[in-house]
Structures are given as C-alpha cells and as structure tokens.
Structure 1
Amino acid sequence: MVEQVSHPEGAQVVIEMWSDLGCPWCYVAKHRLRTAIEHRPDADRFKLVMRSFELNPAAPKQPETIEEAFIRTHGGTAAHFMAAERQIQAIAREEGLEFTLGRLSANTFDLHRVVQYANDEGLGFEFFSTVQDGFFVGALNPYAPDALAGVAESVGLDGRRVHAILASGEYADRVRADRTEGVELGATGVPFVVLDRRVAAPGAQKVPVYGQLLEQVAGPVSRERVS
C-alpha cells in the first residue's frame, strides 16, 4: 500500500524492476515504464534499478526454441503457444516495438550475474535493457559471452570483466537473493515494479497507470511544467 508521503521537489526516486530476459510482458512493461517517466519534465530524478528474477531456474544452458521451452515446462501445443506469442507481438508492434517470434530460450542465470555487476557500476538497467531489446528484435544472442561483453562495452562497462564473471561463480548469491526479495515483496512472477519501496505494480501496466504511480510516489507535476 502507498504511504501518503511526498518527496521534496527534485529528490531522487528509485524504481526497481524485477524481470527476466525472455519474458515478453517484461519487454513491453519496461518500455511503457520508461515512456511514463519520459512524459514527466522531472524525468531525470527517477533512478531505474534492474533486479533479477529467474522465471525458470531449471532451464537448460543449451538454447532451444521458445516453443520447445514452453511445451517442455508447461505442456500444451506449439500452435497454442505461438498464437499467444502473436497476440503479444501485435501489442508490442502497436507500441512501436519490434518483436521477433524466432527467439531462442535458455538458462538466464549467467546473464543475471552480469546484471549484478552492471548494477554495481550504476548501469544495470541500461545493460539489461540493451540485451533484452537486442534479443526481442532478433539482433543479439544473449547466451553468447562475446555478445554480452560487447553490449557491456557499448553501455560503458568492461567487457573483460564480463568474461571473467561468466567464467566464475561471481554474483550467484545476489541473483538468488534478488528473487527471494522480490517474492517477499509480493512478486509471483514478472514484470514486478516497486516504486520508492512504497508501492508495487505487478504485471505489464499501461503507460497511464505507470504515470499515476509515479505521481503517487513523486508528486504531481504542474501543467505549467508539463507544457
């Protein structure tokens, strides 16, 4: 529940997003949240922090098609799964987002370990977002160490450090701790957004809803500032 406590004007507001790479609704929600923030003239006061939430910790490291992964985990048919994917694809495209159906699925634990390193450098959201966008447009293999290192360098991180992390077990405990904390805060899946540790928003909310939540935790902006 939201506490009716307002921040001093201009004070930083932290927004945490629990997400996983292959979650299509996370992809859509991330862009909706960013759009809601960008609609505010004080957008620079919001700090986005990526939190790790593996949807399927038992997923194999060897990539497989998204249909194979879904059927192996949930049952059903490829036709039913792809029909649902096409529905989400249509929603994403209406919002100007590319969305390929030819994605691969694999274990995301190693990616989340790199996200934790990126968080330490203040670039976790930027790194994850760039990887996820590349994945959903079909331009990036997120399971390839060289690809992750390349994205890391593109956002200002050390690609050599990424390779060292992937070759070790660094940040494993923090990935697991993130998921545990998300569940404790009420997450039953992702996307799960927590604003200022005062209000939680499960699921992919529409841009106006995110806008209302931003107003709740950061205060309204005057019409003069919006215009």
Structure 2
Amino acid sequence: MEQRSTAEPAPVVVEVWADLGCPWCYVGKHRLQRAIEVRPDADRFRIKIRSFELNADSPKEPEPIEAVFMRKHGGDPSVVLQAEKRIRAIAHSEGLEFDLDRKNANTFNLHRVMHFAEQSGKGLEFFSEIQDRFFSGEIDPYATGTMVEVAQSLGLDGDRVRDVLAGDEFADEVRADVSEGTALGARGVPFTVFGRRIAASGAQSVTAYGRALDQALEALASEEVPA
C-alpha cells in the first residue's frame, strides 16, 4: 500500500525590506501581520525584516523630520507635515499610534543590532518593538540604552548589544541586505518578497497582502508538481 508523506509543508519566508522611521513600513508591517494572522495556515509563514536605509546620509544625532525633507528636497517644510498628518489619520483608523514629533537619525547601527538579534531568531521582534514604540512616541530608538533594553526584553544579551554597537559587527550584513533589495527591484520601502516568488512595492492593503500570500503558495505548489 502506498504511504502518504506526513512531512509538514515547508515554511514560506516573507521578506520585508524596511527602515525604522518609514511610516509606510510601520503601517504595512501591521497590515501584513494581520493578513497572515487571519489565515488558517498562518503558522506556515515567517516574516523576516531586511535592512534598507532610506536616508543613509542622516546624522547620528536625532533631528526633526522636516530637516531631512529640507536637506533632500528644499522648499516648504510644511509639505512633509501635511503628508505626515495624512498618514497619521490612516494609522489611527487602523488602531495604530502615530507620533508627529518623532525624530530622524541614522539607522545603520539599529540595523546592525537587528542582524545580531536575527541570529537568535529575534530580528522581527526586535525591529517591531523598536518601531512600534518609536511611532508611539515612547522611546529614542537611536540610543544605545534603548537598543540594549529592548534586546534584553527579548532574552538577548545586553552586553553583546553594547559590543556590537561599539564596533562594526554586522555592517557587511546590512550593506548586503540593501544591495540585494536594490537588485530585486526595491526603489523604496516597504518592499516585500513572498517566498522569493512574488514581490510587492509599498504598503499594500490587508486584502492585497492576502492575495500575494496565496499567489506565493500557488507558485510554490506548481513547482512541486512532478513533470
């Protein structure tokens, strides 16, 4: 008698190229998580945050968001505030907090710590905890103490986080993420790749994310059918 395989289906990694201060990354991340959570096969998917620097030339010291806009585009800084208010309304409609007074700074070190956390399978949790509390106005995410505190809350070694921040560990991994995302077509973030079969630019709706998850599963299933 033919025996059926009882092997569990392979997990599908959903990679999200994102940066900390990107409001659409924040909104899109929560929409993607909801799209997965409502599925009966939710356990099959794993979100992995990949590094992307929207403002790699930003200073290490936090500055108002308007300063970034003026440095890159010039013109009227009120334009960015109006855009922020529009995104805040969207975030609030989805039950998310959104602080207009948050500051921008260079995120390279934070991405390095995220890669350290990913060694223990905690990359998403670290990034998400930092980002959520940043957008709620609770923390300075760029401070060493903040990164240490969040890492420790996830069971990671705070002294190792300090060591990472004091040196240049995981710098190559951050740069590799940025290069790979660009090669795959990322021109901004969020940029989401589903099982290396489907890609989506920007913050999609929960429904659109759900369709992409289905399409990725269909593509993977079609490749498993014997010729």
- Residue 200 of structure 1 aligns with an amino acid whose one-letter code is A
Instruction: Please report the TM-score for the alignment, with normalisation by the length of structure 1.
Output: 0.91
Map of 1:164 onto structure 2: 163
Q: TM-score, length-normalised on structure 2? A: 0.91
1:72-151 equivalences under 5 Å are 72-151=71-150
Runs of 4+ deviating beyond 2 Å: 8-11
Higher relative contact order (CA 8 A, sep 6+): 1
Rounded to whole Å, the distance in 1 between the matches of 2:125 and 2:75 is 35
What per-residue deviation string (whole Å, max 9, x for no partner) do you get for residues 172-215 of structure 1? 11111100000000100100000100111110000000001111
CA RMSD of aligned residues (A): 1.2
* Cα distance in 1 for residues equivalent to 2:47 and 2:138: 24
Give the number of aligned pairs: 212
Distance of 1:96 and 1:75 partners within structure 2: 33
Structure 1's unaligned 5+ residue stretches are 1-7, 220-227
Q: How does 1:171-210 map to 2 (within 5 A)?
A: 171-210=170-209
**2:33 is matched with which residue?**
34
- Partner secondary structure for residue 50 of structure 2: strand
1:113-154 deviation line (CA, Å, top 9, x unaligned): 001111111111111011000100000111110101111111
Output the CA distance in 2 between the equivalents of 1:162 and 1:145: 8
Corresponding letter in the other structure for 2:63? E
Give, as a single letter, the amino acid of the residue that structure 2 aligns with 1:98: E
Maintained 8 Å contact 1:50/1:119: no
Offset at 1:162?
Answer: 0.7
Q: CA deviation at 1:74?
A: 2.0
**Aligned-pair CA distance for 1:67:** 1.1
Query: Unpaired runs of 5+ in structure 2?
Result: 1-6, 219-227
Residue type of the alignment partner of 2:91:
A
Identical aligned pairs, as a percentage?
Answer: 58
Q: Is 1:19–1:53's contact at 8 Å kept on the other side of the alignment?
A: yes
Partner Cα distance (1:76, 1:131) in 2:
31
Give the whole-Å Cα distance in 1 for the aligned partners of 2:139 and 2:79: 26
Residue of structure 2 equivalent to 1:21: 20
Distance in structure 1 (CA, Å) of the matches to 2:104 and 2:147: 16
Alpha-carbon distance between aligned partners in 1 of 2:166 and 2:117, rounded to the nearest angstrom = 16
